[in-house]
Amino acid sequence: MSKMKVHYMSESNEWYTPFDLYETLDKEFDFDLDPCATNENAKCDKYYTIDDDGLIQDWDGNVFVNPPYGREIKHWVEKSFVESQRERERERAVVMLIPSRTDTRYWHDWIFGKASEIRFIKGRLKFGGSKNSAPFPSAVVVFRKGDFNTKVSTIDTKGEQL
């Protein structure tokens, strides 16, 4: 009996943010915090690693969130929304790069009707260090305090509006 190939299997649920996409978003949002980082891939001077547990930390400033894409992603989406609604001294945004799995409960519970923006990415991203494109579509979700009139748009894989 021969072994079947398993498609789209990953040894990790971490997908490193594509540089061009992050740069475009950072120019727009000027990020202060990366709560889902490693010491090697942190996008901001201030960041939390798995040991810091970004889910239990307070988030300040404009936040970029590329969470682990496993089952715990729902907790990161909820946390992103909740943090975006906290009182702050200045207006800010929590910006997520996540799989566009619009059939999932977390999309219905925490994104639809709560996000300020959903930017669907046309094409598949090549996550950092990968030779191949991701086996799933992606989206950028933006949360802002009190802004629940979701604007939907399409961007390219570098983050540019189409």
How many other β-carbons are positioned within 10 Å of the β-carbon of residue 142? 21
* Per-residue model confidence as pLDDT tens digits over 57-78: 999 999 999 999 999 999 999 9
Question: Could you say which DSSP state residue 161 is in?
Answer: B
Query: Do 33 and 65 contact (CB within 8 A), yes or no?
Result: no
| The pLDDT of residue 118 | 98
| The pLDDT of residue 15 | 62
Q: Are strands 138-144 and 46-47 parallel, antiparallel or unpaired?
A: unpaired
**Residue 13 pLDDT greater than 60, yes or no:** no
Whether this prediction's pTM lies above 0.85 is answered by yes
**Residue 31 pLDDT greater than 60, yes or no:** yes
The pair phi, psi for residue 23, each rounded to 5°, is: -60, -45
